[in-house]
Amino acid sequence: MNENKVALVTGGNRGIGLAIVKGLAEHGFDVVLGCRNLSQGDAVASAIGANVIAVELDLSIHESRHRALAHISERFPKIDVLVNNAGVLEEAPFAQLSNEALMSSMQTNAFAAFELTQYFANQMASNGYGRIVNISSGWGAFSDGLTGPAAYSISKATLNAMTKVAANSYSGDIKINAMCPGWVRTDMGGMSATRSPEEGAETAIWLAMLSSDAPTGQFFRDKKQIDW
């Protein structure tokens, strides 16, 4: 069904990102697995199958982003799905949060997602098809009180706002949505979390394959719309 469709997943080497990569590969996508450590990414990609390739993509390094975008565009002129999954959880409370730590969270969780969304949504608009999935968090929801660690809540709320503004900016068959995976057993979520990475990935995979009449510019958990 998705043969000849190409998906890019940032932070695809472990955790929820890896479960999304595997799920999309199982659904027939060719998958570009973004990772910071290419030899680790290569090993993960080849263990999944021939339709997954790793590309070095460190979202905090300008040259890495530019190199990766040039490399991906040369090899895959058409990206059908972008999953902005990579993220960091800065724990410092607001009173102690340094400007540098906030900026670093903003760069990975929000600004890099903006850059990739703009780059690929423009391509998708010319191609007439695209799905962008931003992996956000309930901790970035105003409706839930923004109760997470300061830099995390601020950066995920920014990612949510970027999702909405981006979705408002493209018409046609381009769907740009955000989702919360729930509390997931990964390095970030810890081993007490209630969901497996596969469960955390499910809604993202569903959003990557939305039909043309599906919504855009919305926030989801468990395949249901939730409040921003």
Binding mask 18-47 for ligand NAP (x = CB under 6 A): ------------------xx----------
Of 12-20, 47-55, 164-172, 207-215: span binding ligand NAP (CB under 6 A) = 12-20
C-beta of 3 vs 63, nearer to ligand NAP: 63
Name the token pair of 6: 């190409």
Of 7-15, 117-125, 164-172, 217-225: span binding ligand NAP (CB under 6 A) = 7-15
Which residues make beta-bridge pairs with 84?
134
Q: Computed over its alpha carbons, how large is the radius of gyration of the chain?
A: 16
Q: Choose, by CB under 6 A, the member of 76, 119, 129, 183 that binds ligand NAP.
A: 183
- 95 burial (CB, 10 Å; 0-12 / 13-18 / 19+) is exposed
Which residues make beta-bridge pairs with 30?
6
Q: Choose, by CB under 6 A, the member of 16, 54, 110, 207 that binds ligand NAP.
A: 16
Binding mask 82-121 for ligand NAP (x = CB under 6 A): ---xxxx-------------------x-------------
In terms of DSSP bridges, do strands 224-226 and 81-84 run parallel, antiparallel, or are they unpaired? unpaired
| By the rule CB under 6 A, 14 interacts with ligand NAP | yes
Size of the site for ligand NAP (CB under 6 A): 29
* Total residues found in the chain within this entry: 228
C-beta of 52 vs 173, nearer to ligand NAP: 52
Q: Is 170 annotated as catalytic?
A: no
Binding mask 138-177 for ligand NAP (x = CB under 6 A): ----------------------------------------
C-beta of 36 vs 125, nearer to ligand NAP: 36
Active site residues: 152
| Sites of contact with ligand NAP (CB under 6 A) | 10-11, 13-17, 36-37, 57-60, 85-88, 108, 135, 137, 180-181, 183-184, 186-189, 193
